Structure 1
């Protein structure tokens, strides 16, 4: 496997991981509607990125598995919702939310670096398909980072000074 294949594999894994973590955070903080809805939307972006990377991987003789299906509503979803409601009444969820946002930010930053590496390699090899993939997906990853950073800036003073 060449370097482009390595980056495609790492980025595919990173986008799948970020989608999973965003979904987990959305469920964990279900009582915070802004966090829940935006994290759910951002998870869809990463899922779409992973699908597009799997398609691009086929062009580079890589078999990247498809991203996981979005979680269904079922007994586990109901249990997560009840747990989120219970947590919403204790002071610790604020710290948990800050930790979750920090972890999401680091995951998105890692993906951003991989997108940049992929774009540079695509330019060097004149691979227009990969360049256009990076140009389409990387800005959304940067928006994921901006969202986590903004939420950390908004929530940190309130959460950290109320302990």
Structure 2
């Protein structure tokens, strides 16, 4: 497995994880309408990234749509950051929302770094197909990060100072 295929695998798994995280965020914080609706919308972006990654990887003889065989390979394996589903550690809804937004932001940042690595490798290889994929998907990932960062900035002052 070469470096580019490792990054493709890491991105595919990372985008799938981000979809799961955004859906969980949307469901868990349904009462927060902006969070619910925006998380649902940007989860669709990651779903499209998963599809585009699988389509592009197929061109290189990789099957990313098959069953996942564990964590991403090699040095690009995702760090274990997820809290167990349903574990709120006694946090109130506001702190739980901040924790969930933080986790979502970190998952998007993980993907952003891999999109950047893929784009750089694509440029070095003069691979227009990979560069087009990264050029389409990476800006959306950056927008996912900006949204979570903005939500954290807006919510943190009141939630953290009212404890």
* Aligned CA-pair RMSD: 1.7
CA distance in 1, matches of 2:66, 2:47: 9
CA distance in 2, matches of 1:7, 1:102: 23
Aligned partner of 2:26 in structure 1 is 26
State how many pairs are aligned. Answer: 142
Q: Following TM superposition, by how much is the alpha carbon of 1:7 offset from its aligned partner in structure 2, in angstroms?
A: 0.4
Q: Following TM superposition, by how much is the alpha carbon of 1:66 offset from its aligned partner in structure 2, in angstroms?
A: 7.0
**Which structure: larger Rg?**
1
> What stretches of structure 1 of length at least 5 have no aligned partner?
68-89
TM-score, with structure 1 as normaliser:
0.84
Residue 102 of structure 1 pairs with residue 102 of structure 2: yes
TM-score, with structure 2 as normaliser:
0.84
Residue 45 of structure 1 pairs with residue 45 of structure 2: yes
For 1:10-159, list aligned pairs within 5 A: 10-65=10-65, 92-159=92-159
CA distance in 2, matches of 1:91, 1:27: 17
37-46 vs 58-67, which moves further: 58-67
Decide whether aligned partners of structure 1 residues 6 and 152 sit closer, same or farther in structure 2, where only a CA change above 3 A counts. same
Normalized per residue, which structure has more helix? Answer: 1
**SS, match of residue 136 in structure 1:** helix
